[in-house]
A = this chain, B = another copy of it.
């Protein structure tokens, strides 16, 4: 009898050591993530798939994250509440979509005339950005993380050339958020239109201009066929998407899965910036080759000056209303001054002195 007990023990031990259940707590965690985007949305949707795949492979199947696109959960901008209430353990969206709930969420995506992506990542991870974001999101029981950068977004597609500040007056433009408010102060008429209706609105002159993202995502929308001017950007120099995690759900994970999850989110965010760079380069080349009549322009200096001054004044107004806004804006602008000095001395000087030779 003794012999068979030992045999059983050996058997049980080997199952324990070589079986598929290898978690510290023996559990498989099945999570759900709600993303703002529709199914198979390029680049943005790749970031969530990339993250979920990394987590599953690194955890050997102990943490499985199902990604629900907006066609499934039916509420693209309900993602914040899904995560807050725990209906979904995770979300993927953009922090600036929540400015109606808390204005300060705005600053963790991008700011007009703000930092470029490498500058902004340095701010997030070394300049106090992550700590400020935590301060803003803590009250909702939500952990917020960078979720992928689009890179510098284009200023948009215009049917007519913009030669002066006067040309902005009465301009009907699809441009949501804070940038729209800046334009409104200069006499433009910003509107928001669902993405599915954008092409028709531009074609039928319901709007005179629109901004979307940049070559990475604009090309498939076809705007270049009906609006000949493509302007460089000012309003979203480095739009960072957002991963959200329900804090209680996170706290229930074993330490190793917590680490796997945070590293996977961080990597997926960086990866999306790299992918955006690639897709933009690739699609810009296609655009230039197939549509040589598209005119790439930058707004003239007086227009940029007016946009910048208006933006600055607006931000100042908001900072005066809320100490937290003031704290975030101070951190952002001080860091940007330092980081930009380096950008100017490094990449910018390099491009200026090497590229034209």
Contacts and interface: CB of A to CB of B under 8 A. Distances in A.
A139 B1 CA distance: 56
A116 B17 contact: no
Given A5-B5, A256-B57, A263-B263, A348 B350 contact: no
B23 A22 contact: yes
Interface stretch (A79-87, A218-226, A295-303, A316-324): A295-303
Given A118-B117, A264-B263, A354 B234 contact: yes
Nearest to A302: B357
Contacts of A288: 341
Interface stretch (A32-40, A98-106, A181-189, A277-285): A277-285
Nearest to A112: B354
A162 B267 CA distance: 42
B267 A350 contact: no
Contact of A278 (B1, B26, B122): B122
A215 B342 contact: yes
B277 A118 contact: yes
A9 to B, nearest CB: 6
A162 to B, nearest CB: 12
Nearest to A339: B281
A13 interface: yes
A271 interface: yes
B274 A122 contact: yes
Interface residues of A, number: 91
Contacts of A259: 54, 57-58
A60 B24 contact: yes
A169 to B, nearest CB: 20
A274 B305 contact: no
B267 A263 contact: yes
A201 interface: no
A304 interface: yes
A152 B353 CA distance: 13
B267 A346 contact: no
A349 interface: yes
Contact of A281 (B282, B338, B354): B338
9 contacts: A5-B8, A18-B24, A20-B24, A58-B259, A260-B260, A267-B267, A270-B270, A281-B339, A344-B355
Interface of A: 1, 5, 8-9, 12-13, 15-26, 54, 57-60, 113, 116-119, 121-122, 125-127, 151-152, 154, 214-215, 232-234, 237, 254-256, 259-260, 263-264, 266-267, 270-271, 273-275, 277-278, 280-282, 284-285, 288, 296, 298-299, 301, 304-305, 308, 335, 338-355, 357
Given A1-B1, A113-B354, A233-B350, 12 more contacts: A8-B9, A19-B24, A60-B256, A118-B274, A118-B277, A126-B275, A154-B345, A215-B342, A260-B260, A266-B271, A281-B341, A340-B355
